[in-house]
Structure 1
């Protein structure tokens, strides 16, 4: 199982590819083998300050361009990314362990965002406000907010870039992208692409480094007008606290703990198939994964048996292009894998049953962070597997008897991002649509797209990624009143 070496990648600041001020570099480890597959420039406080000043200058230029001019640049970037599609997908496979087929989603969302958001911006309409006394006309107009900073999670390296770069650039904001230090490689390669097409300097800056040296100085700075992120709730809370040096707009897509509810009248095969995909796709490292699977007692045994069989048949491996049958790769880090075993141990110690998995496959590279797909039944509300976002290939399944019971269980979480229900009872659908405390309710199927809003309740975040609603994070409103 051979890895590819991607060499050394530099920061992209002020339109240039540069070393960090300190000269520090960071090794990027392939989670499938444990081997070093690249080095990247590791940014520090000096680089963060340089990026802020560059973005401030970039905003003054970019915000004055017409939407048509911004669109031309965004489509030029889109075309250049598509030319490097294979290299970018291969980088994602190596830096965080996703499959080559799975990396297509990242490319699709990034390139769609660069094309879709200029059109969404074009379709924004000025709001006309009636004057009840007939003395004035009033309208609301949208203007770019200013410099935006995007802190990104490691699980979808380029999809996450797309969710931020599309609305930010279309709105007229400049953008600093800080990818996770766990998977910055493909983001740095986007910096190389931006440099190759002579993208306007300062409009996009890309740098990775420690939170203390990079994120904290940028968040506490008074330069940014917008802070947006994709990550854990704990990190989001710290960013919010650090941001209060000035009044900033905040957009946060944070943790999830999605209920996946299967009633006895559901289409059994559809529910089973999606319960597998939504738990083990991307090795379960997805904020909208099926975290807690609730199955009606009348079909529980049948569902559990079929689910264990399907999970045991999933092919695990290094998801390079040649390995087309691989469904699930390694976890992204040794710490992530250790946590999976801790969740399983906690559940079993409190009475749950390990149905399958919780082992390290013997036929895969010893240096990789491998784990079998794992199924645990009989979970209860006192288990970490019920309370915490799993973010790995461990499925927790429990039975229920009544609608009231499962609704209470589903809502019994601090999170409120995605939820899934499978039933053909229309009255039940209406009730659960009304009473589930989640920003997304998907019924008898699953769909995500750049034009569909993605956001949560409670500790799952503020605002939305995707759709026209994402533009609101990067725009401010002006009221214009004219006396007649």
Structure 2
């Protein structure tokens, strides 16, 4: 596969008039060049997807499944190339790149199987017995998908599998920061000979590509993994027509560590999620609420782990954490930490840019304690390797603080107390509650409430976003015709009776 990547539109790999260099955040070097899409290319992709509506939605499900599995097998065969692309464009340690590629493989595999049972008609009861009623599903139509850069292929997998299974042609806009791996998927689509227009991949300027995609009347659904500000822009421009939306918009996840918690487990989960992918994970604990009785011990354990993190970009097994995505992210997180310290938080370790021989945008693993609700770092999604610790003494107060956010994606509880788990899990206003562990997978629904989004990625719940329910009622008795006129009553001659 060439390092110069082309757009994938209408079943063909195509060039454009512009190119765009992809910069590695780990080294600051150019790691690839892509064809740079604009309004023209986006309109072409939309037209190709619309044309595919003539055949793809009515393609027998087993044939759709066959195409999905052909593409999956090519992803498996080219896993190392795809992983290298993710490592280059996102700066991830090699071990972490497997999750991205597995996301595409798992999605195509899972939805190829799940769609069979999902499409089976559901019988609806009929109160008067005059009809036989069925609920069936059909594709909503063309889908426009906007991907975040933090998991370039996992995010693509979240959209690709359900769209293909449901019969929805899709136009995918990967982030311009991490488009290489998505363009490689386009090459694999071309290699297997995927029918034209089913999948289209265009990266480019947000205004030229993103606004054209969301403002078009062709898509019936727009789906995003990204920020709330981007979601609002997409929805504003999407008002050109009535559309569905499925959006995962990040979070401000609380982790509640009670005095009876398994601290080794809690530290493993919190530190694992905060320093994996340099903390650039939407579900990572943003605010860690720790009971006062165990706060010192918990904090000491986290600091010890933070000091042991190996930073850099190297061979397998040599580093634990890569860089932030770019200099802008580094400056933003530095600002959050500095503001917190200025407002009274205690900086225990880290707090600034990490020096590295690679020259990338690395940030030190950082631990803050005495974080309070009036600090920006409490209110905003950090999206970086910073553990913010808040001490509490009362369960009700901890729950109220945890819910003190407009976000509502993930949350975490650490305690063995079943009654407490029941109370707190039902009291947390988040789409996901993780108790004494962390569980994610393509078979698990992933979605938020409040300002964290609409709909779901993963599981059969995602198919509800891509499929429209349709009721079909079959009349089976005379009562099914409410307009049938009764026979006229027989006229009786009163005189004859007399």
Q: For 2:111, which of 112, 117, 121 is the aligned residue?
A: 117
1:6 positional shift? 6.3
1:360 maps to which of 349, 353, 357? 353
CA drift of 1:59 comes to 2.5
- After superposition, give the CA deviation of every residue in 1:37-71 in whole Å (9 maximum; x if it has no partner): 11111100011100000001123221121111011
- 3-state DSSP of counterpart to 2:200: strand
- 2:172 & 2:108 partners in 1: Cα distance? 15
CA RMSD for the aligned pairs?
1.1
Equivalent-residue separation in structure 2 for 1:278 and 1:46 (angstroms): 40
Deviations 1:394-438 (A, max 9, x none): 111111001011001100001000000000111111111211000
Which residue in 2 is equivalent to 1:336? 329
Matches within 5 A, 1:165-314: 165-314=160-309
Residues of 1 paired with 2:188 and 2:286: CA distance?
37
2:53 aligns with: 59
Output aligned runs, 1:376-387, within 5 Å.
376-387=368-379
Matched, 1:46 2:26: no
Is this contact kept in 2: 1:6–1:38, CA < 8 A?
A: no
SS of residue paired to 2:95: coil
- Structure 1, unpaired ranges of 5+: none
| Cα distance in 1, alignment partners of residues 358 and 196 from structure 2 | 43
TM-score, L = length of structure 2: 0.94
| 1:319-349 residue CA offsets vs partner (Å, 9 max, x unmatched) | 4xx2313110000110001111000011001
Q: Distance in 1 between matches of 2:117 and 2:325?
A: 39
Query: Shift of the alpha carbon at 1:202?
Result: 0.7
Q: Would you say the 8 A contact 2:69–2:112 is kept in 1?
A: no
Is 2:417 aligned against 1:425?
yes
1:315 is aligned to: 310
2:318, 2:392 → 1: CA distance? 35
Checking the alignment, whether the CA contact within 8 Å between 2:171 and 2:199 is kept in structure 1 is: yes
State the distance in 1 between where 2:300 and 2:231 align: 39
CA distance in 1, matches of 2:347, 2:69: 50
* Rg comparison, structure with higher value: 2
Spell out the pairing of 1:384-463 with structure 2 (5 A cutoff): 384-463=376-455
- Map of 1:346 onto structure 2: 339
**Partners of 1:360 and 1:332 in 2: CA distance:** 13
Q: Hey, what's the Cα distance between the residues in 1 that align with 2:206 and 2:52?
A: 24
Matched position secondary structure for 2:293: helix
Q: How far, CA to CA, are the matches of 1:428 and 1:56 in structure 2?
A: 52
Q: Are positions 1:374 and 2:374 aligned together? A: no
**Number of aligned residues:** 475
Out of 4, 10, 15, which is 1:8 matched to?
A: 4
List 4+ stretches of structure 1 deviating above 2 A: 359-366
Q: 1: distance between equivalents of 2:149 and 2:354?
A: 24
5+ residue gaps, structure 2: 477-498
Asked if structure 1 preserves the Cα contact closer than 8 Å seen for 2:445 and 2:458, the reply is yes
- SS state of the match for residue 50, structure 1? helix
The 8 Å contact of residues 356 and 362 in structure 2, kept in 1 or not, is answered as: no
Deviation at 1:7, TM superposition (A): 2.5
